[in-house]
Structure 1
């Protein structure tokens, strides 16, 4: 029976059949009206035979005309919505008006009384017929949802927030047949709403929802639908359901709704970025616009996480030309494809390596850039610890090459993207970035090019960063690996970091090292637990966390200022200027010695030479948990053995 019903419901009902069924219902509700009123002793004394012969044809004709005029039968019944119900109401109102006018005409011309339908019958029939036509459409829709779309097997969801946003979320979920969701209730801490119903769905006290309640009702998802929710409150909600086997999702801000309407597809899983609780950055777009307008802008490392986002954001400003340079072919191709709809002939994607002076000079001479955003760099600490030569060649020589040529070709402004690992560095990567910072800063003092450095911490979601690594480990079944239980880091989203790079670049007058407000540091162990929870899993039952020990050159804590640096506030609350002091004698010559160090057959000896030279340039460089640790105290810098 169930199979046969499902088979019939799957077929789309022909429009002519819907029209016939509507007419059949209308005739039957008319007869039902007559019988009910006769039973109540308020019906006209018309013979039942004459009702059939004299009045039913009227009902049939006027109902047919009203249904055709209003097209009430043309809607897809299994997808009946508000508009379809309004068409039914229009049809029954039109029918009632027409049959009332006809009965009045019969009365006026004093013809056969049996043709006249009484006022009471007309009014009651209008009510019965409207209810019947509407009810049967809703019944058919629910049967279709239950037997065909698998409503019995839909995910059971609760909506956190019983305000306007929650109601809109409910409508978006229930209106989408593909979402396969059954809303079991609303959650809210407003006592005035608790205990009431919205569209027949109960509102529960969010503070009294227990693990037993979730399991009893088989709740699999909780959709958080509160606009302008502070990060701290979102974290509280996430923590509240930390031990529950539910997936948490969130409704985007109204400004991100497509054409002002929310769809079920826009409701996404909560991301770690959502839990940072950082307020949106207010940019001085006019200042950035004035800085970039009509200029030729070059971005190195354009295919990387930071470089690609800087490029995307620059595309929104009226630049003269945007030159995106990278040596990674596939990554640059992907950037070209993903930004195709945003750029025009003013954008060029150029293969080039900043370590190659000849190639860089060709690009500089050809494009004559006004502004350079230098984001090309090697950034992975453990890998660079094993390959210091490559780190020096890219992070130091590459920066020196393009900075020197920027001076030669009269570039107006050079903005270098640096890292908090350059502060009191304990690893090769951080030391190379610190040398690069110092080089462009001192270069600013003797050139017309304005050199600016931007320094910030980790960015969430960048290539090879902790979040993608955790997600991959979860997909592999775990465990998640954390190097130390107390290790913590500062985090920013990629768009946020790049917005601040553009802002700092625009306000820079030359010689500044801009430091970004990274908010509060985050313990990586806690971050790992959050990622497990947001994946709908439990720690440690489903996924465990393994402590692997600090990697070579890795710090437990990161810093944003070197010991002898001080921070000066700017007009932007999230941007400060670090006062950099340069005290190394013969700095430029030592940088030359570093970048022109030739590799030797003995790889370890070559690495020690490079690291020792960096130690001379960056005295605060203290290799930690590394094979280079001995350099800090006992290695002979001049004659390594």
Structure 2
């Protein structure tokens, strides 16, 4: 017999039982003989009528073990209709017998709601205790950090888990101490974690604060680390609401949680308007930023996505990923060099993209400082000019240059060449119908050559962790965040703007290294931090705006527009004479020439040896 049929039979029994109980209550348990005939005639009619109404209201499509408020509302609606219909039917059916007392029509529905709601609640309680009680007893003890909505959902999910057993919660303050959520008591404030963990022998804490500001999340993570408790966290509310994950899918706290940036929200409608149904091209599509741009663009349903990439292997990996995760996107993988004018013209002339995101660049500061300085100039400046020139020639509507904060008051070749690329776009912005935008941001987490993977490798190897200088600071953002803001800026531009991303607060690299060591479960005594000195072309602090620039706000809180230094007439023609020369150019000459073309450029560490430290390059960018 199916469970839904058993539930239906239980409710029919409840209809009969409550009809009889209503009579007992009405007559103080002593039903007069004159009313028994009407009782007997009415009972089968009530059973048929109310049984049909209960089934008509869909009360038997749900699962009892998950019975909740929506089920109770359906019960109320069904019984409410039965309360109105039953007297009308019975007035006709029992007209030859003594009438049914009017109070019965009020008592019976009330009793029926109590019966149906009570049986479902009792069944769910019994079932959960039976199914999950043993599982909870086996799980690892864990403390939930937070007592808000996320904590409620988490406790509910973990009650069905064999992995975790919640021993209690901690809140921001002690105001909630002693209260309970789903049977779990609030044991104190976040600051009490060390004491509570010792008392309850807990080695794990789950941070359930996905909607709180990053400062609080980072502070709670630090409390966990200091208490010797392994910190876990729950997914973002947005991911839970979109069905990507369950609130119970806890994960380890990672570097992004330590750096703590508030989530980015872009105007999806605005971005979709200029990408949907369009042909979009990304250069450097196999790199960290380029590949994430491709993933983000795929969400907005372009008609064609052109992925232009020099590395065959990176292009192959991108194709494999898109076949698995974005099979409906028409991907055109094209191998090519942005410095190759013939290939660039061929691609733009054939596909005529509506938007080009130019992310191809050399980005590693020490590597580009001396022996590879001329290649940095050619790739970052000449390559940008080749793609931008072709965009103007073929009337491509929009060109977005992905730049860097190292282009601001640059002290290294890489930063100077990116500023040179910006100036090229500024010079071309007045030519033709192509609309140019430039987007600057800082370091991205997990990108090729960034500090985070370097630290992770060094910690895994047992140390030491190498940091260039005790005071060195950097701005950080996640790769998806950077890509989203690049798309947002591209949708907002009117032509010629330099967009500056809100990079949040700068992070001390030494403190980041300490946090990562503690997060790994190790101590400063076990893994040392060694300071190796600034590398060629490296500066202590990155800037977002040059000294001579000002900004103005946009309608997006994380994007501002910089007012950059203008490019003089004839500047680009003179620059091209230098960029197009065929002879080799050494590092010192590159730096001398860059000072001529980029007024803000002030070379630093130009006498520092280059080839020797590259093999042992420490982290810092």
Q: 1:187 to 1:472 in 2, by over 3 A?
A: same
Matches within 5 A, 1:563-582: 563-582=547-566
Aligned twin of 2:280: 297
Matches within 5 A, 1:60-209: 82=65, 151=138, 155-177=140-162, 180-189=163-172, 191=174, 193-198=176-181, 201-207=184-190, 209=192
Q: Is the 8 A contact 2:475 2:504 kept in 1?
A: yes
Q: Is the 8 A contact 2:537 2:605 kept in 1?
A: yes
Q: Give the secondary-structure state (helix, strand or coil) at the position aligned to 1:442.
A: helix
Aligned twin of 1:233: 216
Matched, 1:266 2:223: no
Q: 1:586 to 1:358 in 2, by over 3 A?
A: same
Once the two structures are TM-superposed, the CA of residue 499 in structure 1 deviates from its matched residue by 1.7
Q: Give the secondary-structure state (helix, strand or coil) at the position aligned to 1:626.
A: coil
Once the two structures are TM-superposed, the CA of residue 441 in structure 1 deviates from its matched residue by 0.6
Q: 1:313 to 1:586 in 2, by over 3 A?
A: same
Aligned twin of 2:591: 611
Q: Is the 8 A contact 1:160 1:187 kept in 2?
A: yes
Aligned twin of 1:358: 342
Distance in 2 of aligned mates of 1:383 and 1:175:
52
Deviation track 1:34-73 (CA, whole Å, cap 9, x = no partner) reads xxxxxxxxxxxxxxxxxxxxxxxxxxxxxxxxxxxxxxxx
Q: 1:537 to 1:215 in 2, by over 3 A?
A: farther
Q: 1:202 to 1:350 in 2, by over 3 A?
A: same
Distance in 2 of aligned mates of 1:280 and 1:395:
31
Distance in 1 of aligned mates of 2:208 and 2:474:
30
Comparing 606-615 and 280-289, the one that deviates more? 280-289
Distance in 1 of aligned mates of 2:135 and 2:293:
50
Distance in 1 of aligned mates of 2:243 and 2:384:
46
Q: Give the secondary-structure state (helix, strand or coil) at the position aligned to 2:203.
A: strand
Matched, 1:546 2:526: no
Aligned mate of 2:308, from 325, 336, 342: 325
Aligned twin of 1:287: 270
Q: Is the 8 A contact 2:392 2:431 kept in 1?
A: no
Distance in 1 of aligned mates of 2:136 and 2:571:
75
Aligned twin of 1:413: 398
Aligned twin of 2:505: 520
Q: Is the 8 A contact 1:425 1:623 kept in 2?
A: yes
Once the two structures are TM-superposed, the CA of residue 200 in structure 1 deviates from its matched residue by 5.2
Matched, 1:627 2:607: yes
Aligned twin of 1:122: none
Matched, 1:561 2:541: no
Distance in 1 of aligned mates of 2:310 and 2:161:
45
Q: Give the secondary-structure state (helix, strand or coil) at the position aligned to 1:502.
A: helix
Count of aligned pairs? 493
Once the two structures are TM-superposed, the CA of residue 166 in structure 1 deviates from its matched residue by 2.2
Matched, 1:592 2:572: no
Q: 1:471 to 1:295 in 2, by over 3 A?
A: same
Q: 1:213 to 1:319 in 2, by over 3 A?
A: closer
Q: 1:145 to 1:451 in 2, by over 3 A?
A: closer
Q: Is the 8 A contact 1:584 1:617 kept in 2?
A: no
Unaligned ranges ≥5, structure 1: 1-80, 85-130, 630-641
Matched, 1:454 2:434: no
Q: 1:565 to 1:293 in 2, by over 3 A?
A: same
Aligned twin of 1:425: 410
Distance in 1 of aligned mates of 2:555 and 2:155:
43
Deviation track 1:413-439 (CA, whole Å, cap 9, x = no partner) reads 111000010111111100111111101
Distance in 2 of aligned mates of 1:299 and 1:411:
13
The alignment's TM-score, normalised by the length of structure 2, stands at 0.72
Q: Which runs of 4+ in 1 moved over 6 A?
A: 134-146
Distance in 2 of aligned mates of 1:424 and 1:607:
19
Distance in 1 of aligned mates of 2:552 and 2:140:
53
Q: Is the 8 A contact 2:209 2:217 kept in 1?
A: no
If you compute each CA radius of gyration, which structure gives the higher value, 1 or 2? 1
Aligned mate of 2:227, from 224, 237, 244: 244
Unaligned ranges ≥5, structure 2: 1-63, 68-121, 610-621
Q: Give the secondary-structure state (helix, strand or coil) at the position aligned to 1:266.
A: coil
Q: Is the 8 A contact 2:359 2:401 kept in 1?
A: yes
Distance in 2 of aligned mates of 1:261 and 1:611:
49
Q: Give the secondary-structure state (helix, strand or coil) at the position aligned to 1:205.
A: strand
Once the two structures are TM-superposed, the CA of residue 229 in structure 1 deviates from its matched residue by 1.4
Q: Is the 8 A contact 1:283 1:499 kept in 2?
A: yes
Distance in 2 of aligned mates of 1:254 and 1:221:
22
